[in-house]
Structure 1
Amino acid sequence: MKLPVVNAQGKELRSLEVDDSVFGIEPNHAVLHQAFITQRNNQRAGTANTKTRGMVQGSTRKVRMQKYTGRARHGSIRAPIYVGGGIVFGPQPRDFGLAINKKMRRLAIRSALSGKVADGQLIVIDELAFKAPRTKEMLGILRKVGIERSALIVTGQADRSVLASARNIHKTKVLPAAYLNVGDMLNHAHVLMTEEAVKVAEGLWGSKPADGRRAAKPAAGAPAPEQARPSARRRAKAEAPPAEPEPAKAQAASEAPAAPKARARARTAKPAEEPAPPRRGSGQAPRPARRVKAAAKPPAEEAPKPRRRTKKSEEPG
């Protein structure tokens, strides 16, 4: 895909070959909408706050007696019905932040750029160079390239002179290409990009890597990159033969008495345990089962004899 490149006078100089995956895709309006809403919500501070009737200062005394006044019953002067009372269902501090997947955010940026190209609202200029910040010069450039409404100026890198020249122009914003976002592109009618900004955008969101932006993946079967050469000191240490121990020191080390810790471990070592009895099925006779004496049963308690009922005549007088 090719885009015309104009100069500061508005004359077309040449055509620039751009990446179709960034400037020539079919815009995904659903993803654009989701990315725009996410960006707007993440910009909200969420600090709005109101006081309920429990937070407002005021007396806790009952306003008037419950009955016999002929008026409505009230229990607190901090009730929402009174002036200066609490607020019912008022806003409270909260987090409005939303999240979006990285692939969706990248697709939204490509969709916005492609939509601007399709609508003829993306203009590529060769460069924006100012000897000193001049708002009048920037305004003249915008008029000559055909921008009459709001404009988003995108540069390759942060440029203070361009920023100072455009900050006093109404509905005009300057951004480096790395900070390009969906919200600013949709809020401005035109996008003015330099050639350097186009290359940076292709390196960030396209299939063509920009210079110094992404390292190209090695092809299959390509030789591995050479590793850094070790220092001379490490090479000498690796090539040197291992030092042999002196005979006197080796003999002294072999005849040296055991260390105190080794002697202490030898004194506290446990004696060897007896071998465990053979398991069943190993060919040897199993051990006889141990007999367990049956516990003696406790003597049964005799049930109480029923009491004999006596007649009234037999009861003592």
Structure 2
Amino acid sequence: MELNVIGAKPLNVSDEVFGGEFKQALVHQVVVAYQAGGRAGTQSQLSRSDVSGTTKKFKKQKGGGARHGDYRAPIFVGGGVTFAAKPRSYEQKVNRKSYRVAIRSILSELNRQGRLKVVEGFGIDAPKTKAMVAKLAELEVSGRVLLVSEDANEALYLASRNIPYLHVVDVLALNPVSLVGSDYVVMTVEAVKKVEEWLA
């Protein structure tokens, strides 16, 4: 199949990568797993065995109403937490093949919806926000925009960082969450070739 390149001749690409079926369940699984992998998992609470304090039984067993052992019980203020949270990893296993299929699926759906745009290059040689705003207007993109370059140089990054909802990544940093969360994805021809090589 062919991808339209703005200001240049169309680019021949793989049907499998940019024209495949959208697999919603797989995409959801991969996005959730990617977000879960970014969680710190450092939450920590004290259980009744971790709380400092005496273990002396503070009242007699019978004749005083409810039976209690010590003040470290979860029912008391200052006591331990029932089922206390402890540091853990939220990482979910996703097969490499499944991950690639999900990325292909997302790119194919973006292409079908007209939200994937391909350019020869961004033409940003100086870190000027005005130049980037003009480029986005020329490309007719708005909202959350993801720029994918084969090598995101410093000038491109600096020209983009003051524009809300605009993100610049290189091919190696491409991920399902960024793709799904973008209204438009703009890629250079070289980036498309690298992505195709990675996902083919």
Task: Return the TM-score normalized by structure 2.
Answer: 0.91
Q: How big is the shift at 1:71? A: 4.5
Q: Which runs of 5+ in 2 are unaligned?
A: none
Distance 2:179 2:125 in 1: 28
1:66 counterpart SS class: coil
The equivalent of 2:20 in structure 1 is 25
Larger helix percent: 2
Cα RMSD after superposing both structures: 1.7
The equivalent of 2:3 in structure 1 is 3
The equivalent of 2:49 in structure 1 is 54
Partner amino acid for 1:61? K
Contact 2:150 2:170 (C-alpha < 8 Å) held by counterparts? yes
Q: How big is the shift at 1:67? A: 3.6
The equivalent of 2:110 in structure 1 is 116
Q: How big is the shift at 1:108? A: 0.9
Alignment map for 1:113-192 (pairs within 5 Å): 113-192=107-186
Distance 1:91 1:161 in 2: 44
Higher RCO, 1 or 2 (CA under 8 Å, sep at least 6)?
2
Alignment map for 1:39-118 (pairs within 5 Å): 39-68=34-63, 70-118=64-112
Alignment partner of 1:197 out of 172, 191, 199: 191
Q: How big is the shift at 1:63? A: 2.4
Alignment partner of 1:14 out of 9, 12, 19: 9
Q: How big is the shift at 1:150? A: 0.2
Partner amino acid for 1:64? K
For residues 73-100 of structure 1, the C-alpha deviation after alignment (integer angstroms, 9 at most, x for no partner) is 3221111111111101132122221222
Q: How big is the shift at 1:149? A: 0.5
2:172 counterpart SS class: helix
Contact 1:185 1:191 (C-alpha < 8 Å) held by counterparts? yes
For residues 148-174 of structure 1, the C-alpha deviation after alignment (integer angstroms, 9 at most, x for no partner) is 210111001131111122122222221
Partner amino acid for 2:49? G
Task: Return the TM-score normalized by structure 1.
Answer: 0.59
For residues 248-274 of structure 1, the C-alpha deviation after alignment (integer angstroms, 9 at most, x for no partner) is xxxxxxxxxxxxxxxxxxxxxxxxxxx
For residues 216-271 of structure 1, the C-alpha deviation after alignment (integer angstroms, 9 at most, x for no partner) is xxxxxxxxxxxxxxxxxxxxxxxxxxxxxxxxxxxxxxxxxxxxxxxxxxxxxxxx
2:10 counterpart SS class: strand
Question: Where in structure 1 do 4 or more consecutive aligned residues deviate above 6 Å?
Answer: none
Distance 1:37 1:95 in 2: 14
Give aligned pairs, total.
Answer: 200
1:124 counterpart SS class: strand
Q: Which runs of 5+ in 1 are unaligned?
A: 7-11, 207-317
Contact 1:61 1:76 (C-alpha < 8 Å) held by counterparts? yes
Distance 2:167 2:183 in 1: 11
Structure with max Cα Rg? 1
Q: How big is the shift at 1:36? A: 1.3
Contact 2:144 2:182 (C-alpha < 8 Å) held by counterparts? yes
2:35 counterpart SS class: helix
Percentage of matched positions with identical amino acids? 38
Contact 2:58 2:69 (C-alpha < 8 Å) held by counterparts? yes
